[in-house]
Structure 1
Amino acid sequence: MQIKLVLKPILAIIFVLLAAPNAALAYESSDYIDELLVSDTFHPPGEGDPEYLYNEWHYFNMIDEEQNLSVVCTFKLNGGTNSSEVLLGYYVNETSASFYESYPLTSEVVNYSSQSPDVRIANNTVTLTDEGYRVHIESGNGSGIFDALFKPETRPAPVFSASNFSVPGMGINWLVASPKMEVSGNLSVAGVTYSLNNSRAYHDHNWGYWSWGEDLGWDWGQVSQAGNYSNETAAEYSISFGNITNANHSQSVSSVLNVWKDGEIIASFSEEEIQIEHYNLNTKDIGISQGEMSPAYILPEGFFTFPQNTLVNASSGSETLKIKFTTRQPVPLPVMIPVGNDSGIKDGTKDGIKDGNESGIESGSEIKYRIIWEIIGTYQVAGEIDGKSVSYTADGFMEYVAGESVSPISPS
């Protein structure tokens, strides 16, 4: 009896110690979600806002090194075309594919609100629950389904905003909701189901008022330290950067780079503290999905280039970072631009946008395109942050937008 009496309090202490880390993680995750319920909400145009310039989207990505699988998905709202779009792109074992759905931006098809991060576009949804973001996407013919839970492991960053553009009312906002997430769920495509179990993931949110036809470009990238690489750094770091530029990337409008560790931002660089250079621009035409453009037209070959190599240098006092990115798989995402004048406004009013067909484009109106390059590749990170050496290699994502808008052409 004495042995049993002694063991009971010992076992109780062990159970408490084992439960404490899980309880702390659950508390932190709940804390992050409470913040996201406020900061990650949508921003519908209000009275007097230039609705024809309205753009907003949720963006998610994930990487599973064991299965050599990467996934990107977006839920996009576009006031200029009066459309809502869902895109899922995936890259597995050196093969990439995607499915894309477009719908009118109407209350019958789309639900979103300034009170919530949730969005519904037809049967595709993002829902922020107590555990994280439940993301569900299905192709129109039912051949592809992505259903996953993205759990945030960091606090969101402060909102990054750029507003000093040539057109009055233009402004771009970017929230890194969580640069480091764990995702679990399933991707079913081409008759194969891939199970995800705590894979690395990321989520951000973009919104504002701008025309894709303006003198506009950008760089964006993110990488989280992976556990399966031989890393010199013991702690886990996450990095994201953004840079709004002019179309030919000769001038930066505004830029930021943040570093997270243990769920918090521990270093931040901005403006002149950041230099981004691109090398070995590739003009190879790798094709545009027929679902994303009218099948009767294609984009001029080689017009939109993407970099094979990118170098990011950041320095502020004793804190420095040198980041090298090597492109492995570039994926072109076409952006449709209705053309009426330089701002993309038809007949001088935003009301002309609303009177078109179900895609929001007036019959017979001219359409141009730009390309967002969504690039999968490898980052090499080195430097000194918070008095400690940082050095690691991991796969991650980058976006590159450059060049003027162009008209599609008929296939030869």
Structure 2
Amino acid sequence: MQRERLGTSWLLAWRTVTSRPWRALLLCGGFGVGVGVMVVLLAVGEAMVRQASQERLVGGGQVTVLPEGIDIEVLTTGGLGGLFFSVPNARFVHRQVLSSPRLADAVTVAAPQLEGKLLYLTTPDGVEHPVRATGEVPSATRTLGAMPEIAQGAWDDDAGDRRWTAPTLAELRHDVDHFHRPNDGLANADSWGEWHYFNVLSPDASRWAFITFLVGGDVRGDRWGGQLLVTLHERGKAPRRFVTNVTRDRVRFSRRDADVRIGEGSVTVLPDGRYAVQSVAREASSGATLAVDLVVSPAPRVEFPGATLASGDFASGYAVPALRATATGRICVASRCDEYVDAQAYHDHNWGGWRGVTWEWGATRAGEYTLLYGRVTPEDTAGGTSPLFVYVTDARGFLALFRPKVIRYDDARVVQTADGPLAVPATATLFDVRGADTLRVQLRVDDAVATDTRQGLAERGEGDYARGLARPWFVQMAGEARISGRIRGKALDGRGRGFFETYR
């Protein structure tokens, strides 16, 4: 009887399917969708439970900022603590992006947090213990609504928290602009060079000065020293070069602050964040003495935070504390002085091993915008080169970053060198598209000078090795830049003066 009932049920089911196939298919499809939805809901619920109990998951806020390439699934698998990652240039992201005036209407607070960071604690008896540490800025976490209940004691900001989130202008300069030391694994450490660089442009754009305070050589040993170098340029004329070389006992620099003294010259960060720049040097050809006495005032928020590039035993660092600045003071040669009042100025800081290194570089104003572009190429680069970067700012700080693959030069200009005529750029163009944003930068050069690095110039840290360079001519250019394109839906249009560098 049981078998007969089962056979009848199968027969009825089969005839129902064959007599109404589309209806049966619809019912089966609906049943399948229902089961699928239940599976998804159960999986989501399980993931939520796991996240809620995941001790490494950072809580609070509406947006979590992670390094590029980190999958959100990492947050639920425990991999977050295993990777030990951090957000590169986190302080810049916090200050110039998340806490910038540009996002003031959308961001109430940005709270930097480290969760489950692996550290090693060494006790007085030399025993090492792995520990898991958490770090945060208490006031920001409290405003975010993610502060845990404090069972005992206090958890408030200290001086380090305040300096990280809201430094004074002088503290910011020292943090970005301090000096360094060669990496332990750096090959050819005698090629190490680090310098403060300033330029200043006259109001009629007919004269400009490049001012360098350089520490060169392996500063970990005895074979290093300092150099003051000032080159004065006047459109259509040969540059004048003033140099003072000093031994290491007359050099003062620090890895904690930006102040430097080389002989009678110095760079000093004033309490209000401006730079006092003083230099004394002598022209080799005439013996004339030059004296520089300037105060350089960086524009607020218009800076490049600094980055270090490393490839094998190569290292190169670069920061721009004053991408847009003004200079007031004087530059005197003998008894003749040029006075500057709020003149266009710029300041950057370079460090690294410079043996065989070449670069593309430019810094320019373009109306309300200020641009920085560049690329560093080590001597051992094989095949293609990396894209350039173009860093765009306005009065509210960082605006956009572009990565054009090439800078297209038209070498229609000719300069005279000791080896004869040399073709150098007359114009250049950079172009890039990043999502909905576009940028075109057009450069027109109206003055250029080529320096032979095979002479072993101290400011490059090259020495005799420079004589084997494939592109030995260091070309410094002045001219006009014009930008066009669109960023965040706003059309770009601006032009202004700037300085550019390349090699030939």
Residue 261 of structure 1 aligns with an amino acid whose one-letter code is D
Of residues 52, 61, 64, the one that matches 2:199 is: 61
Residue 74 of structure 1 aligns with an amino acid whose one-letter code is T
Alignment-derived partner of residue 409 in structure 2: 278
Distance 1:124 1:336, change over 3 A: farther
Alignment-derived partner of residue 45 in structure 1: 182
Query: How does 1:3-402 map onto structure 2 within 5 Å?
Result: 31-45=168-182, 49-50=186-187, 51-66=189-204, 68-79=206-217, 82-92=224-234, 94-106=236-248, 108-131=249-272, 132-140=274-282, 143-155=289-301, 156-164=303-311, 168-189=312-333, 191-212=335-356, 216-225=357-366, 236-245=368-377, 251-253=384-386, 255-270=388-403, 273-280=404-411, 282=413, 284-286=415-417, 299-302=418-421, 305-335=423-453, 368=467, 370-402=472-504
Alignment-derived partner of residue 294 in structure 1: none
C-alpha separation between the residues in 1 aligned to 2:408 and 2:308? Answer: 22
Distance 1:169 1:366, change over 3 A: closer
How far off its partner does 1:367 sit?
6.8
Q: Tell me, yes or no, if the aligned pair for 1:153 and 1:263 is still in contact at 8 Å.
A: no
Residue 110 of structure 1 aligns with an amino acid whose one-letter code is V
C-alpha separation between the residues in 2 aligned to 1:269 and 1:38? Answer: 26
Sequence identity percentage: 21
Aligned-residue CA RMSD in angstroms?
3.1
Q: Partner of 2:171: helix, strand, or coil?
A: helix
Q: Partner of 1:95: helix, strand, or coil?
A: coil
How far off its partner does 1:60 sit?
0.9
Q: Partner of 1:65: helix, strand, or coil?
A: coil
Q: Tell me, yes or no, if the aligned pair for 1:275 and 1:314 is still in contact at 8 Å.
A: no
C-alpha separation between the residues in 1 aligned to 2:185 and 2:405? Answer: 36
Give the number of the structure whose alpha-carbon radius of gyration is greater.
Answer: 2
How far off its partner does 1:388 sit?
1.3
How far off its partner does 1:40 sit?
0.6
C-alpha separation between the residues in 1 aligned to 2:465 and 2:432? Answer: 42
Residue 267 of structure 1 aligns with an amino acid whose one-letter code is A
Q: Partner of 1:34: helix, strand, or coil?
A: helix
After TM superposition, the structure 1 stretch with the greater mean CA deviation from structure 2, 375-384 or 49-58, is 49-58
Residue 436 of structure 2 aligns with an amino acid whose one-letter code is S
Q: Partner of 1:103: helix, strand, or coil?
A: strand
C-alpha separation between the residues in 1 aligned to 2:215 and 2:419? Answer: 26
Alignment-derived partner of residue 358 in structure 1: none
Query: Which whole-Å deviations, capped at 9, do the CAs of 1:115-168 have from their partners, x for residues lacking one?
Result: 11111121111111124111112223563212100111133323233323xxx4
Query: Which whole-Å deviations, capped at 9, do the CAs of 1:85-104 have from their partners, x for residues lacking one?
Result: 22212233643532332425
C-alpha separation between the residues in 2 aligned to 1:93 and 1:375? Answer: 11
Distance 1:202 1:209, change over 3 A: same
- Structure 2 unmatched runs, 5+: 1-165
Distance 1:32 1:225, change over 3 A: farther
C-alpha separation between the residues in 2 aligned to 1:94 and 1:249? Answer: 38
Distance 1:281 1:84, change over 3 A: farther
How far off its partner does 1:201 sit?
1.0
Q: Relative contact order (alpha carbons < 8 A, sep ≥ 6): 1 or 2 greater?
A: 1
How far off its partner does 1:67 sit?
6.4
After TM superposition, the structure 1 stretch with the greater mean CA deviation from structure 2, 258-267 or 90-99, is 90-99
Distance 1:129 1:174, change over 3 A: same
Distance 1:197 1:218, change over 3 A: same
C-alpha separation between the residues in 2 aligned to 1:395 and 1:67? Answer: 8
Q: Partner of 1:33: helix, strand, or coil?
A: helix
Distance 1:324 1:190, change over 3 A: farther
How far off its partner does 1:41 sit?
0.3
Residue 76 of structure 1 aligns with an amino acid whose one-letter code is L
C-alpha separation between the residues in 2 aligned to 1:105 and 1:190? Answer: 25
Distance 1:313 1:268, change over 3 A: same
Q: Partner of 2:402: helix, strand, or coil?
A: strand
Query: Which whole-Å deviations, capped at 9, do the CAs of 1:341-392 have from their partners, x for residues lacking one?
Result: xx97xxxxxxxxxxxxxxxx7xxx7873733222111111112123211212
Q: Partner of 1:139: helix, strand, or coil?
A: strand
After TM superposition, the score normalised by the length of structure 1 is: 0.69
Higher helix share: 2
How far off its partner does 1:244 sit?
2.0
Residue 87 of structure 1 aligns with an amino acid whose one-letter code is L
Q: Tell me, yes or no, if the aligned pair for 1:160 and 1:256 is still in contact at 8 Å.
A: no
C-alpha separation between the residues in 2 aligned to 1:221 and 1:87? Answer: 20
C-alpha separation between the residues in 1 aligned to 2:252 and 2:454? Answer: 22
Q: Partner of 2:375: helix, strand, or coil?
A: strand
Residue 34 of structure 1 aligns with an amino acid whose one-letter code is E
C-alpha separation between the residues in 2 aligned to 1:211 and 1:366? Answer: 7
Distance 1:333 1:307, change over 3 A: same
